[in-house]
């Protein structure tokens, strides 16, 4: 049935890992494994999942606050080696590959704001076949990391869409805090890195328990 509601948002900004791609478990496992490989304190799975969405340098500073800066490259390299060894197994959540073209066809501008580096995001966009549906993307290494509002502010500027017509969609408190800092509305998903309770504390417009729920909400209300 055709949705006759007026469109609320022109620009839909998606986080990548844990929102569109089912990757949080492998990211957390790679972080913990990299720490073990270098005989560093191994963070809990909860702690490893909590930093997903941050830029890698910021994530290291949170998980390994005693680690000297000159040791960051070794940990970064080991994490990437572990992650890339499993990268080919990653898949998009059910419904993503159908929903994004539909949102695009409905006239929305689509964008990505992610803690991934540019090389990692480009690889994911190519492997998933989703690159053509996004009008703009921003990675943490290109600007300030979440929850700083820079990624959203830059995407809004590129797409020429004001804050009141922009919606952020993500699976972490970092996404929701970034949206708040940019004066942008936000929707959260509970199937990614952060718990439903954590996300509820940030009062998103909607909290989806799976991607089909998110797709239905976006189709009807966004």
User: Which residues are known catalytic residues?
Assistant: 15, 17
CA distance 37 to 200: 35
- DSSP H helices, 70-172, are 72-86, 96-105, 118-128, 150-159
Q: Could you tell me the CA-to-CA distances from 197 to 147, 173, 193, 209 in Å, in that order?
A: 19, 10, 12, 12
Other Cβ atoms within 10 Å of 88 Cβ, number: 7
Other Cβ atoms within 10 Å of 153 Cβ, number: 20
Residue 17 is given by DSSP the state B
The residues with which 188 forms a beta bridge, in sequence order, are 170, 207
Determine the number of helices (DSSP H) and then strands (DSSP E) in the chain: 10, 6
- Contact 60/67 with Cβ under 8 angstroms? yes
């Amino acid at each position: 049935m055709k949705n006759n509601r007026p469109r609320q948002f022109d620009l839909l900004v998606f986080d990548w890992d844990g929102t569109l791609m089912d990757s949080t478990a492998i990211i957390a496992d790679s972080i913990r494994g990299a720490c073990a490989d270098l005989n560093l304190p191994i963070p809990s799975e909860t702690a490893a999942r909590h930093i997903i969405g941050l830029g890698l340098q910021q994530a290291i500073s949170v998980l390994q606050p005693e680690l000297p800066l000159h040791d960051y490259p070794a940990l970064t390299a080991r994490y990437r080696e572990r992650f890339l060894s499993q990268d080919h197994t990653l898949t998009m959540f059910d419904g993503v590959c159908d929903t994004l073209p539909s949102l695009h066809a409905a006239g929305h501008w689509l964008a990505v704001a992610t803690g991934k580096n540019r090389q990692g995001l480009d690889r994911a966009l190519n492997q998933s076949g989703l690159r053509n549906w996004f009008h703009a993307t921003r990675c943490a290494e290109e600007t300030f990391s979440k929850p700083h509002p820079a990624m959203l502010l830059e995407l809004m500027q590129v797409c020429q869409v004001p804050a009141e017509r922009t919606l952020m969609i993500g699976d972490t408190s970092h996404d929701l805090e970034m949206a708040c800092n940019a004066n942008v509305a936000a929707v959260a998903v509970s199937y990614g890195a952060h718990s439903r309770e954590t996300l509820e504390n940030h009062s998103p417009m909607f909290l989806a328990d799976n991607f089909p729920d998110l797709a239905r909400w976006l189709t009807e209300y966004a």
